[in-house]
């Protein structure tokens, strides 16, 4: 099963890092967040990646060449810009990657639509370089296969950006640092999609989070897989530093693979 990864956004809320490089190349533990996400999927045996490039996409292409090209297992298809690499190192055994230029201004839905020739008429997974998690991808796929609908989104409880104050009048009775006990669920990405979902995307100016998902939900074709484990976005420099601290401590909840 192929894994589509959207890696073309501007990352404006992380501008301290993304002024010189795209968000997927922002590093945690000296590895780009894109690498962490690919390692997650590979841990569950999903090793075929189709990456949608956009803003500063050449940076990602260059990194692929430098990181994997040292083993000389890199194939470049100049006719369409695809890069296929196979790494002999055990930690990346069997990986293959297609890098697809989806345009600098294309919205998320349009980027997915442009991947159609690489995804084919088959079920595929979809995510983007916004977050790391310890989602059980086998359980996610099993859930998707069980309900018979076109799309599955992973629903998560996000950590609060701020500490929570419990008050009695003007007196603070309890302080909870970044609680996760809110009942609200949000789109945590980590989608499983049938190829028919591509028909819900009109073109480059379509945002995946707008008309396609709204229409799928209205038609009863969007199901939610509830993930109660770790999930953390990387939208700000503060969140990036939080993830870096976890990694350096040796207790990064999303690192479920073996080195």
| Domains assigned to the chain | 2-249 (3.90.550.10)
Terminal CA-to-CA distance of the chain, rounded, Å?
Answer: 23
Cβ(54)–Cβ(64) under 8 Å? no
CA dist 70 and 115 (Å) reads 27
The pLDDT value given to residue 184? 76
Calpha distance 7→17 (Å, rounded): 15
Q: So what's the pLDDT on residue 159? A: 74
Q: What is the pLDDT of residue 182?
A: 57
Residue 196 to residues 121, 171, 179, 212, Cα–Cα distance (Å): 8, 55, 38, 11
The pLDDT of residue 209 is 94
For β-strands 191-193 and 124-128, DSSP reports them as antiparallel
pLDDT value, residue 174: 65
Torsions phi, psi of 77, nearest 5? -100, 100
Backbone angles phi, psi at 245, to 5 degrees: -65, -45
Q: What is the predicted pLDDT for the residue at 91?
A: 44
Of residues 97, 112, 129, 83, the one with CA closest to residue 195: 112
Query: Can you list the positions of beta strands (E) in the chain?
Result: 2-7, 27-28, 31-32, 48-53, 74-77, 82-85, 96-101, 124-128, 131-133, 151-156, 164-168, 171-176, 186-187, 191-193, 222-227, 231-233
Beta strand 31-32 pairing with 131-133: unpaired
Residue pair 74/82 in contact by the 8 Å Cβ criterion: no
Distance CA 101, CA 103 (A): 6
CA–CA dist 198, 117 (Å, integer): 11
The stretches in the chain having pLDDT less than 70 are: 11-20, 69-93, 160-167, 170-183
C-alpha 176/C-alpha 72 separation (Å) is: 51
Burial of 43 (0-12, 13-18, 19+ CB in 10 A): middle
How do the residues of the chain divide into helix, strand and coil, expressed in percent and rounded to 5? 35, 25, 40
Strands 171-176 and 124-128: unpaired
User: Rounded CA gap, 253 and 242, in Å?
Assistant: 12
């Amino acid at each position: 099963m192929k894994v589509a990864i959207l890696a073309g956004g501007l990352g404006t809320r992380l501008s301290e890092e993304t002024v010189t490089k795209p968000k997927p190349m922002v590093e945690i533990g000296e590895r780009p967040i894109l690498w962490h996400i690919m390692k997650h999927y590979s841990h569950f045996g999903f090793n075929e990646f189709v990456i949608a490039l956009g803003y500063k996409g050449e940076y990602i292409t260059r990194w692929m060449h430098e990181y994997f090209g040292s083993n000389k297992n890199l194939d470049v298809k100049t006719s369409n810009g695809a890069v296929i690499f196979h790494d002999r190192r055990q930690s990346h055994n069997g990986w293959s990657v297609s890098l697809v230029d989806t345009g600098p201004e294309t919205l998320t839905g349009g980027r997915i639509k442009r991947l159609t020739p690489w995804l084919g008429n088959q079920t595929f997974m979809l995510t983007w370089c916004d977050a790391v998690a310890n989602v059980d991808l086998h359980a996610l796929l099993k859930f998707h296969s069980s309900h018979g609908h076109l799309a599955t989104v992973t629903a998560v409880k996000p950590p609060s950006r701020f500490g929570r104050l419990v008050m009695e009048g003007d007196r603070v009775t309890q302080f909870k640092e970044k609680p996760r006990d809110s009942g609200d669920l949000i789109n945590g990405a980590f989608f499983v999609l049938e190829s028919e979902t591509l028909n819900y995307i009109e073109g480059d100016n379509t945002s995946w989070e707008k008309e396609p998902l709204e229409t799928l939900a209205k038609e009863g074709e969007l199901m939610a897989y509830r993930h109660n484990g770790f999930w953390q976005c990387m939208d700000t420099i503060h969140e990036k530093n939080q993830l870096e601290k976890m990694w350096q401590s040796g207790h990064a909840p999303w690192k479920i693979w073996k080195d």
